[in-house]
Amino acid sequence: MTLNIDWENLGFEYMNLPYRFIARFKDGQWDAGSLTEDATLHLSESSPALHYGQQAFEGLKAYRTKAGEIQLFRPDQNAERLQKTARRLMMPEVPTDLFVEAVKAVVKANHEYVPPYESGGSLYLRPLLIGVGDIIGVQPAQEYIFTVFAMPVGNYFKGGLAPTKFIVSRDFDRAAPHGTGAAKVGGNYAASLLPGQEAHDAGYSDVIYLDPTTHTKIEEVGSANFFGITKDGEFVTPLSPSILPSITKYSLLYLAEHRLGLKASEGDVYVDDLDRFAEAGACGTAAVISPIGGIKNGDDYHVFYSETEVGPVTRQLYNELVGIQKGDVIAPEGWIYKVEISD
């Protein structure tokens, strides 16, 4: 099959691919699930996912290597995070085996849509878990749908690995103390739309969210995690119970220490003490790594390494991470899952 896709200019947009996976939970158990060509979910108008936000999602990618093979990056970690979110929202956990096999099945069925190695693109996968069925009171659903769909994507931030600027949000919090900040639930993202739009309107890539308790410490960068490289060479990311535990962030923590030889830690990142950092960036599955050129904080505008050039440590981390994801660098044990494509 010949695809009419401009691989070199992929954005981050939905595309209706031929196949997706769907499984249903009913009477206390998951069915085996299967692939379907139907891109429309059929659910009750009273589904708790629609009224009360009982839904969770994940995001991960499949990559084509230089040899043409296809591989996934740490999908078991996405499965575990979805399970944690499910427990928080009183939803049935999707077993890791079911999650990983569903993802593999979608990649295999749509393998022609995995972008070529040379394009720099990837196949983005969106697992989704929603509460459905005829429920109108505020209570957990009795039935659930787990689905996985996919689309080829390019860079989340236009311009690729290039520094952009962000602005500290003083009017909005990303999450409440002891709330659902550490869960990957849709409501967190819906609440970020307004502050994100205001940041874009003001000429910034996105907002920097502060901790909801004291409003003194950096928590997240839009829908991505923050990291900084101190002037004495330490890799630091914020630590807070209201931060989403990013798989990319924890991968970078490991790589910074074990591949680059840096001291790596999670801790407080005070917004009024940005001078300690020589470099900074945002990281996540969608963004991968986006260098932060500068941060606007009230009347202050702090520039890190450069507003036009990528810092050396940030570039090293990017090359190591992307090299692993695309098969150019040997991965730590257990990080890569191959997807076998039959002829």
Q: Where does a domain end: 126, 153, 180?
A: 153
Domain identity same for 103 and 214:
no
Within-domain flag for 83: yes
The span from the CA of 144 to the CA of 317, in Å, is: 39
| pLDDT of the residue at 156 | 67
Tell me, rounded to whole angstroms, the distance of Cα 202 from its chain centroid.
25
| pLDDT of the residue at 161 | 85
Domain identity same for 140 and 224:
no
| pLDDT of the residue at 237 | 98
DSSP 182: T
Within-domain flag for 108: yes
Domain identity same for 250 and 190:
yes
Within-domain flag for 206: yes
CATH number of the domain encompassing residue 117: 3.30.470.10
Residue in this structure with the two tokens 């989704």, named with its chain if needed? 128
The set of catalytic residues is 184
DSSP string, 260-284: S--EEEEE--BTT-GGGEEEEEEEE
Domain identity same for 183 and 238:
yes
Within-domain flag for 49: yes
- Label the pairing between strands 263-267 and 234-238: parallel
Within-domain flag for 66: yes
DSSP string, 19-66: -EEEEEEETTEE---EEES--S----TT-HHHHT--EEE--EEEEE-T
| C-beta of residue 184 within 8 angstroms of C-beta of residue 220 | no
Count of domains forming the chain? 2
Task: Give, for all 343 residues of the chain, the pLDDT tens digit.
Answer: 668 899 989 999 999 999 999 999 999 999 999 999 999 999 999 999 999 999 999 999 999 999 999 999 999 999 999 999 999 999 999 999 999 999 999 999 999 999 999 999 999 999 999 999 999 999 999 999 999 999 999 876 566 689 999 999 999 999 999 999 999 999 999 999 999 999 999 999 999 999 999 999 999 999 899 999 999 999 999 999 999 999 999 999 999 999 999 999 999 999 999 999 999 999 999 889 999 999 999 999 999 999 999 999 999 999 999 999 999 999 999 999 999 987 6
Q: Where does a domain end: 121, 153, 185?
A: 153
Within-domain flag for 212: yes
Domain identity same for 228 and 106:
no
Those residues with Cβ within 8 angstroms of residue 76's Cβ, 6 or more apart along the chain or in another chain: 96, 100, 334, 337
| C-beta of residue 132 within 8 angstroms of C-beta of residue 145 | yes
**Positive/negative CA dihedral, 42, 46, 48, 53:** positive
Domain identity same for 168 and 303:
yes
Domain identity same for 169 and 136:
no
Residue 201 host element (H or E): helix 193-201
Within-domain flag for 115: yes
Within-domain flag for 339: no
The span from the CA of 120 to the CA of 264, in Å, is: 28
Domain identity same for 197 and 267:
yes
Q: Where does a domain end: 125, 153, 181?
A: 153
CATH number of the domain encompassing residue 186: 3.20.10.10
Domain identity same for 172 and 310:
yes
Domain identity same for 182 and 71:
no
Domain identity same for 95 and 232:
no
The span from the CA of 126 to the CA of 103, in Å, is: 9
Domain identity same for 173 and 312:
yes
Boundaries of domain holding 205: 164-325
The span from the CA of 278 to the CA of 31, in Å, is: 51
| pLDDT of the residue at 268 | 97
